[in-house]
Amino acid sequence: MGWVAASEYSQAQSDPPAEHKRDIMQHMNADHKDALILLAKRFAGIEAQEAEMTSIDRLGFHVRLRTQDGMHGARIAFLREVSDRHRPGKCSSRWYGRRVKDR
């Protein structure tokens, strides 16, 4: 099976935010668009007028950004891996942002 051994695949565990992914993205996009814009500026170095979270996993999330010169995508890493499957939807800035080099 490709580059993953069958034994590793059968022992793999799901990503902690996986079962709440849709709820987390809906919540962030409905209630925290301003925070997503600020996170994109701070950690991806992109000035955006609009932002939408498009994906989330245990290591970070992707955003789609509307800027003056068009649409851009960015990934923002969490400071540490999300490992608690009971708290992935809790809003907390302590999870956000490994700074990437400004453009």
CB 52 within 8 A of CB 64: yes
Q: Is residue 103 part of a domain?
A: no
Residue partners of 55: CB distance under 8 A and separation at least 6: 21, 25, 61, 62
Is residue 55 domain-resident?
yes
Residue 9 forms part of a structural domain: no
Q: How many domains does one find in the chain?
A: 1
Asked if the model's pLDDT at residue 100 lies above 50, the reply is: no
Q: What is the pLDDT of residue 11?
A: 81
| Domain assignment of residue 101, yes or no | no
The CATH number of the domain holding residue 90 is 3.20.180.10
Q: Does position 96 have pLDDT exceeding 80, yes or no?
A: no
Rounded to two decimals, the pTM is 0.73
**pLDDT tens-digit readout, 34-85:** 999 999 999 999 999 999 999 999 999 999 999 999 999 999 999 998 887 5
Residue 97: per-residue pLDDT: 53
Q: Residue 58 is part of which domain span?
A: 17-95
